[in-house]
Structure 1
Amino acid sequence: MLENIKLENILFLDIETVPEHTDFLQLDSEMQALYEAKTAYQRKENQTAEEYYERAGIWAEFGKIVCISVGFFAYKNGERQFRTTSFWGDEPQLLLDFSNLLNTHFNQVQHLLCGHNTKEFDYPYIARRMLINGVKIPDKLNLVGKKPWEVAHLDTMELWKFGDYKHYTSLKLLTKILGIPSPKDDIDGSEVAKVYYQEKNIDRIIAYCEKDVVAVAQVLLRFRGEAILEQSEVKSV
């Protein structure tokens, strides 16, 4: 039961990804052919792999993580706070820093990870990029040999499904129908690569990613029947 989970034991997270290179031609010939094969059924008729490269960030084999934002609840003098912070920059280093956070502060049995559509995207993407970059996968992300009830992952999209395996609901839609301020008031996921490579504005991406983390926390509060966060309760550290 969600009501029995201590909010302080949950680490909320979101990631932002982009194509690993600025354009398709920076891939070697073998990777170009592999990307063409990987995207054969996703591309529109007559659309080339090069034209579709702007979407490469959705695959861990052809993309990279540029930001991981996290958030957690804390109580100070009886007052609720939700604190956010982000890891960004060089991908191997941000992955290592995130792994250290999990291993140091969120490594106990009672600790859970929570995000939106994270079981399908964020958790496996992080683990794959850690493997590619030679970063040891922390226990909270390493599912090898674990039984379903041993996996310490919450997913607000899965909670919203209520057992319906076919149902997809975006975080933007979920926040709207639950009366939560929308996190999508600046950019959306499809624009992150442009902001990263063309605008070179990582601060804008960090702000966007942290807003998603806050939104996920808000959704979980609604599932628990609790009051959502006021802006004064949110602290970026």
Structure 2
Amino acid sequence: MRKQLRAAIFDMDGLMVDTERVARMGWKHAFRQFGIDLTDEEYLQFLGISTADVSAMITERFGGRVRFEDVYAVRQQHTHQFYEENGVPLKPGIVELLSFLESAGVERVVATSSTEEMARFRLQKAGLLEWFSFISSSDRVLRGKPAPDVYLTAIDWCGLQADECVALEDSEVGVRAAHAAGLRVIWVPDLAVPSEEAVGLAVHVAADLFDALQWIESWMAPTQQIGQTDPQVS
């Protein structure tokens, strides 16, 4: 029996705010300061994972040429300056989706690989912070995505079961994390092309957040009786 949708759990970077392109620019700039040309393929490995995991990856890959602390400091300064000067760009459809969920009485929380301080800064700059009641961040858990910890923390805070919630993600590691937490996942790909294997973990692969909104509206439609099948998985 399908339960009522009571909470939506959102990833942040690349899903709600168009920050992955800014982050890519920042990482490339930072590595160039140390004589390293970071490729797009190398950057894509950073998507969706915690700062601690990025640190381990950079140390393993570039440890003999640059310290993570040094390149990260340059990257942070570069991206922070961009956000201060330009704001944090929104992904199309996010305000419409959040407005619909609020009007429907659906709780809205965040599950992010960023720290809470960073998440609050970006959401505030983007004008989205007030839409959310809780942020499950990487500094609240022991394991980052693709482990399910940030999602399990969000579900627990809501006081709900996983089948009363839906997760929205843009990265494969995030989709794997949400799926491992027992959640239905709507995948809205950003920079990386979804792998064929991981597509099966999502109930819907959306073209954008407007498409995700349509799927949720269909799922919540009052004409669909409890016990009927969910909208077609795609």
Tell me which interval the TM-score lies in, with the shorter structure as reference length. 0.3 to 0.5
Q: Could you tell me the TM-score, scaled by structure 2's length?
A: 0.36
Higher helix proportion, which one? 2
Q: Could you tell me the TM-score, scaled by structure 1's length?
A: 0.36
